[in-house]
Amino acid sequence: MQDQTQDLSGGDVILSAIIPHHNHGRYIGRAVNALLTQERAPDEIIIVDDASTDDSLAIINELATKSPRIVVINQPVNAGTNAALRAGFALARGQYFVLAGADDWVMPGFCKFGMDMLTQNPNAGLFCGDTVIVDGETEATTGYRPAARPLYSAGIISPRQCEELLKRMDNFIHTGGAIFRRDAILKAGGFDDSLGAFADGYLTRKIALTFGFCYAPRVVACWRVFITGVSRSTALDLTKAKEALELYPARLAADHAFPAWYPGVFRKRWQFATSRLALQATPPDFDFVVSMAATTAIDRLVFNAIRAIRKNNISRVAALGWLWLRLRPYRLTDLVATWLARKFDRFSAQI
């Protein structure tokens, strides 16, 4: 029997990548190649096919013939992303993990930079950087994660500093642009099916609050977003979004790893985030916004007045402004500072 601490070439398995996959044969090659061509590539890449119904499995098996680092798990029944991650985690042998998207990709230098930072900061639970958000079909840039940077130079954020940051901002760790320690994932409880699309968000926040994390203000990954993706479909389905509005804060409140004040703050941020997505529709979905975020008679009066404008761009801006005043999801100065920093980054890269 092969030594479970050794890879196929006889070296130590230190870094594992897990790619949950379902019907993304069109994109999986790019995701895998981006990992294989890293300066410090993962020692193993575990692709968990979650009962794909297209030609994906044949494509994945063909990829596996090109590198001994690639391992394929074929799940006969579709059980969802969290179950696929658990299956990959159970097989993986590394002490560090990249949890990659089958339709996303990481940037050159990601693995080496992240592993170097984690080696220098052995108590940190994860490393993360900036992620570019691109349209699923056109790959046009639509935004960045995080919206507000927690640091403006590479460094470590302690659990206490993370708690202070959460008072001002949130969502500063994108799973696809992070490297995790195995023991941190285990201590935080892994991938909880009951949390659905929020399982990774819950996990990353808990790790950051328990161990602290390393962050670098550089683009390390690209996140391809489809309107039909799990996270977007949850946020834009009013019934699911309202169920999440009750479930997520309740789970946060029951976990002592999270500050007692955080579930209430998270609730407002969820109302803002889902309403913002609804306002991006054409025409803006004011029925969703009113149901999700109008908690007073004044809110309903204001939103109905804005709806009557009937000019989509003006009504979007006006509604977002009111939501911002009512919910205060982030500190405006943090958003402006991050926007300016990214503008400067692009300017510096051109000269």
3-state secondary structure 120-177: HCCCCCEEEEEEEEEECCCCCEEEEECCCCCCCCCEEECHHHHHHHHHHCCCCCCHHH
For the domain made up of 1-102, the CATH class stated in words is alpha beta
Number of other CB atoms surrounding residue 210 within 10 Å: 15
> pLDDT confidence of 157, banded at 50, 70, 90?
very high
* Percent above pLDDT 70 for the chain: 94
Q: What is the percent of the chain where pLDDT is above 90?
A: 87
Cα distance from N-terminal residue to C-terminal residue, the chain = 55
Structure-model confidence comparison of residues 152 and 1, the more confident one: 152
pTM beyond 0.85: the answer is: yes
pLDDT at residue 235, as a whole number: 73
- What's the pLDDT at 98? 98
Tens of pLDDT, residue by residue over 47-61, are 999 999 999 999 999
Burial (0-12, 13-18, 19+ Cβ within 10 Å), 144: middle
Cis peptide before 146 (omega within 30 of 0): yes
Q: How far apart are CA 210 and CA 326, in angstroms?
A: 31
Pairing of strands 213-225, 155-157: antiparallel
The two three-digit tokens of residue 214, written as one number: 């390393």
Domain with CATH 3.90.550.10 in the chain: 1-102
* Confidence class for position 8, pLDDT limits 50, 70, 90: very low
Mean pLDDT of 181-200: 95
